[in-house]
Amino acid sequence: MEKLLKLIEENYSDFEFTVDDIGRELRMSRAQFFRKVNALTGETPNELLKLYRMKKAAALIHSGNNNITGIMYEVGFRSTSHFASSFKKYFGVNPSEYRDGIG
């Protein structure tokens, strides 16, 4: 689990970084990797990576960074709509509403 979290921390901002990359780095087959992550966390690897990115985005917004588009790129998203819908799924509001609710 430590190796997994370290890989995510080192690569979460790379939008081309996928769970397949993590599995290869951990030298596990895709099926083995998905089973192991699900057993340890109750989440799929994709959800775990997305959750990590969302928590990073929320922390960046909370720290006073008001540039939502910049945050989106910083946490590994290329699509504004995908970022906004993912953020809303996890936090119940879109990123700008989250920002405005803090300030």
Contact (Cβ atoms closer than 8 angstroms) between residue 83 and residue 72: yes
**Which structural domain, as residue segments, surrounds residue 65?**
2-102
Here the tokens at position 82 are: 């995908």
CATH number of the domain encompassing residue 84: 1.10.10.60
Contact (Cβ atoms closer than 8 angstroms) between residue 75 and residue 65: no
Q: Domain count of the chain? A: 1
- State the sign of the Cα–Cα–Cα–Cα dihedral 85, 88, 3, 33: negative
2-28, pLDDT tens digit by residue?
999 999 999 999 999 999 999 999 999
CA distance 55 to 48: 11
* pTM of this structure: 0.89
36-93, pLDDT tens digit by residue?
999 999 999 999 999 999 999 999 999 987 799 999 999 999 999 999 999 999 999 9
